[in-house]
Amino acid sequence: MNQMLQEAEFPEIDTTPDTPDRPPPPAHPRFAKPQRIAFVQSSWHREVVEQCRIAFLGEIEARGIARAQVDLFAVPGSFEIPLHAQLLAKTRRYTAIVAAGLVVDGGIYRHEFVADTVIKALMDVQLRTEVPVFSAVLTPQQFHESVVHLDFFRRHFAIKGIEVAEACATTLHSLERLRGQVAAGIV
């Protein structure tokens, strides 16, 4: 009986180390209307560029747009992205278009020329169609197909995927709010 009292008075102490609770995921605003995104990805250096797509899909889902609401399109290189973006924007099916590619030196064109041309063309698409177009088309000063460079750019593209998802979701919320104000005659 004495033993039973001791156990009742002094319950077993948990000796497992305390693990910090993970902070709750950030609360992102909800969209008033369904969103649909086109993700256009260059196939050159796919093993690097796909890190952007993977990170983008994870982050955009955390921000309230389901993976099923993102359509993926592959093009040969970054130079082909703007035409695809324009045709996709003209369908009016997409509320945003995201472009991802890696432009490196080595072709018949200088990589700075290709990157500048792609970025300018993407800007023209969004201004002509009023469908926002986001770019994760990157052009490093130096790129070598070594393990070190490939690993660095894989990590870099993963970061860019998160950043472009954040920019995309934030812009879509802003445009949704602005369009509502315009429709209501507030702006």
Indicate if 179 belongs to the active site. no
Annotated active-site residue in 110, 128, 155, 177: 110
Give the containing element (helix H, strand E) for 138: strand 133-138
Neighbours of 131 (CB within 10 A): 22
- Alpha-helical (H) ranges within 63-107 are 81-90
Q: What letter would DSSP give residue 67? A: G
What one-letter code names the amino acid at 165? A
Structure-block tokens of residue 53: 């797509």
User: CA 165, CA 168: separation in Å to the nearest integer?
Assistant: 5
Q: How far is CA 186 from CA 4, 58, 84, 182, in A?
A: 73, 35, 35, 6
Residue 82, token pair as written in the block: 């703007």
Residues annotated catalytic, as ranges? 110
